[in-house]
Amino acid sequence: MHVPTPHTPLPRRPFDRSSFVLSATLAILAVLTIYGFTTFDTNGVDMDMALDMLGDNAKTLFFAPGLSNVTIEGLLKNLGVTVALGFLTTVLGAVIGMVFALASALNLAPVWLSVVVKAFTAVVRAIPTVLWVLIFAVSAGLGSVAAVLGMTFHSAGYLIKAYAESFEEVDAGSIEALKASGADWWQVVGQVFIPSSRAALMSWTFLRFEINFSTAIAMGAAAGAGGIGFDMFMASGFYLNLREMGAFTYAILIFAVLLEYVATKLHTKTMQG
């Protein structure tokens, strides 16, 4: 066998189309970025003052949060409204998701039904949540009803796919064993599918709750659904109150960290089985 000595030159890496495209893209982006900086129109702006103000604003936002137009009870209540919007749409989405996942997992449903449901949910998922809310706003008017409908719709589409994939991973042997002992379809669902995929189902549902929470903040402002998102919209766009913005941001941050903590706990449990 030929053993390469230290003097043997390393063979050149063969030309690789995809890595070439990647480097070319990066190079073009770098050139454009530098070009962009040089062509900024900073005539009317005093850069020193602007940077100063930016620093000041950031300081106010993050180091001097406070409430003026809203009381602390008001803030908590509106945070509650946003959480409730996220929670409600997740629960509704989970119920619808479960029903249609049973109809679309290949080891539970006939192929034609599975194909139909999967194609339909792919379309639902392809349209972003905000668009669904706007679509429902046509008939329900912009507001909480449209937000609930639109967010539920997209959550359902997402959870149908997630649940169905969890179901499809269930061991075919145990399904066969229960069928062989005379169990019917529902009994197999309740005794094999649910226990075998429970951890995954919970994990997916919680992940969707996190997504829905942040969507609910945006919908509060964008769709007038109320809650802390609407408060932020008022504080920033209407009162120009940075200290209040800071308070809202912290409230959301604390809640998000809490969610993340629970999600990680759940995930670890899933991994353990």
Q: Which C-beta is closer to another protein: that of 124 or that of 189?
A: 189
User: How far apart are CB 170 and another protein at their closest, in Å?
Assistant: 9
Rounded to 5 degrees, what are φ and ψ at 42? -105, 20
Spatial distance between the Cα atoms of 52 and 50, rounded to a whole number of angstroms: 5
User: How far apart are CB 176 and another protein at their closest, in Å?
Assistant: 6
User: How far apart are CB 201 and another protein at their closest, in Å?
Assistant: 12
Q: Which C-beta is closer to another protein: that of 11 or that of 273?
A: 273
Spatial distance between the Cα atoms of 201 and 165, rounded to a whole number of angstroms: 10
Q: Which C-beta is closer to another protein: that of 77 or that of 179?
A: 179
- Could you count the other beta carbons within 10 Å of the beta carbon of residue 53? 11
User: How far apart are CB 110 and another protein at their closest, in Å?
Assistant: 15
Interface residues with another protein (CB under 8 A) are 171, 173-174, 176-184, 186-187, 189-192, 195-196, 198, 273
Q: Which C-beta is closer to another protein: that of 55 or that of 195?
A: 195
Q: b/e for 2-25, b at 16 or more Cβ within 10 A?
A: eeeeeeeeeeeeeeeeeeeeeeee
Spatial distance between the Cα atoms of 134 and 128, rounded to a whole number of angstroms: 10
Instruction: Decide: 110 and 172 in contact? Cβ < 8 Å.
Output: no
User: How far apart are CB 184 and another protein at their closest, in Å?
Assistant: 6
Q: Which C-beta is closer to another protein: that of 265 or that of 269?
A: 269
Nearest CA to 63 out of 246, 244, 236 is that of 246
Q: Which C-beta is closer to another protein: that of 66 or that of 195?
A: 195
User: How far apart are CB 182 and another protein at their closest, in Å?
Assistant: 2
Spatial distance between the Cα atoms of 236 and 249, rounded to a whole number of angstroms: 12
Instruction: Decide: 66 and 246 in contact? Cβ < 8 Å.
Output: yes
